[in-house]
Each structure stands twice: as structure tokens, then as C-alpha cells.
Structure 1
Amino acid sequence: MGEQDRGYQADRIKVSYWDELGNETIRYFAANLPEEEIPDIIDSPPTGLPAGRDKANPPSVAKLEPYKTHLAYVKERRTEQEAADLLDEALQQLRARRGRVSS
């Protein structure tokens, strides 16, 4: 009954991946997929760490990037003088809209 209702199930292979904490993640691939198309490293769903196919030598995190705020990204693109000029311009426009222009 199963194949008639759901169609033919293709042959597949089971590939295990392990992360640094020893968590195993299993992925299934088509049996006729060439070996070079099966990824060597994936992201482990439980931890977000990279997971590799070699249980004894799992991949490690290359580099942890610290979280950057929007302000940190803006400061990378602008100098202090550019920031001050933009702030002055924005304040002048705001004061002009409110009818309080100061020179």
C-alpha cells in the first residue's frame, strides 16, 4: 500500500556528521549521488557549530565574530567629523520643521 499511495522511495545513503561537542547529526542523500557532491561540513542543528564526517576530528569554529551593533557598523564607515556634520544637518532640519531656527 505505501508505494502506491506515496510513490516509489529512492535508494538513499545515511551520512553521519559530528560537532566538537560530540553531537551526531544524520543526513540522507540519494544513493546515486557522487561522493564529491556530499558536503564534508554542515552546521549542526542543536548547537550551530560546524559538524564534519570524521568523528575523531570534528571541525572547530574558525573564528568567533563578536556581535556588532548598528552604531559600530556606522562608526566603521564614518569619521567623527562626518558624524558631527550629519548630526548638525539633521538637527537644523528638525529645528526648521518646528520653527525654531538657530544660527
Structure 2
Amino acid sequence: MAGGGSAIRGSRVGAGPMGEAERGDAAPRQRVVYFCAHQHESVITFAVEAQIPESWDCPRCGLPASQDSDNPPPPPKIEPYKTHLAYVKERRSDKEAADILDEAIQTLRDKRKRGEIVF
């Protein structure tokens, strides 16, 4: 193939970004330091006009971090997994549970006597 290829004219293979002269100047920035309960120090860069958040998740451990190095936020309290029975026990006392069970057993016995349930 002579002369006409599919090469892109004006740039070479592997050419990187053109540089600030081609892209324009970078926006002014500010660096903000956050501290977590594990004493990790995270430096986050924001645009000068950006609203700075009070807290930030630590990139190293995931705990919440704040700008106060002497008083970082505590780790969140993790609730253990609760079974369905645990939730039921929170809502009903043992007496209420016994009453409900007695009522269900009586209903089952009545249905058996009438022949509605055969087992």
C-alpha cells in the first residue's frame, strides 16, 4: 500500500498528553488533611472554590476521618446480625409468646377434631 495508510498524521505512537500549554492552566487547588481513629493522615486535594466536607472516609482503613487531629471521629458501632427470633423476642415477652403458642395449639386441636387437618 503506497502512500495512503490508516496512520494518524501529526502524532506519534505512544505520545502522551500535550501538556498545560495545550490543555490550559490547572484550576487553583488546596490541600486538606484528615485524621482517622487509627491515626492515619490523609491529604486530599480540592479545588479552591469547592466546599470542603467536614468528614472524609480514610483511604487506608475506611473509617471516618476529620480535620481535627486531636479528636478524630470514633469508629462506627457495628450492630451484630440479629435472627428473626431475636427481633420477635424484642417485641414480645415470654408470657405473650406462651399465650400466642397456647392459642395456636388450641386452634390446631379444634381443626383436627372437626376433621379439617388429618395429621
Scaled by the length of structure 1, what TM-score is found? 0.55
CA deviation after TM superposition for structure 1 residue 69, in Å: 4.6
Identical columns (%):
35
Distance 2:64 2:89 in 1: 31
Aligned to 1:66: 79
CA deviation after TM superposition for structure 1 residue 74, in Å: 7.5
CA deviation after TM superposition for structure 1 residue 75, in Å: 6.8
Deviations 1:38-91 (A, max 9, x none): 112112121122211122x23232651223156456876x8699xxxxxxxxxx
Deviations 1:7-37 (A, max 9, x none): 431111000101122111111111123xxx3
Specify which of 7, 12, 30 is matched with residue 29 of structure 2: 12
Unaligned runs of 5+ in 1: 82-100
**Using a 3 Å threshold, how does the CA distance of structure 1 residues 9 and 63 change in structure 2: closer, same or farther?**
closer
Q: Is the 8 Å Cα contact of residues 13 and 31 (structure 1) preserved in structure 2?
A: yes
Aligned to 1:48: 62
Residue 30 (1) aligns with residue 47 (2): yes
Larger C-alpha radius of gyration, 1 or 2? 2
Q: How many residues align?
A: 87
CA deviation after TM superposition for structure 1 residue 102, in Å: 4.7
Q: Is the 8 Å Cα contact of residues 36 and 63 (structure 2) preserved in structure 1?
A: yes
Unaligned runs of 5+ in 2: 1-17, 97-116
Distance 1:28 1:8 in 2: 16
Q: Is the 8 Å Cα contact of residues 63 and 75 (structure 2) preserved in structure 1?
A: no
**Using a 3 Å threshold, how does the CA distance of structure 1 residues 74 and 47 change in structure 2: closer, same or farther?**
farther
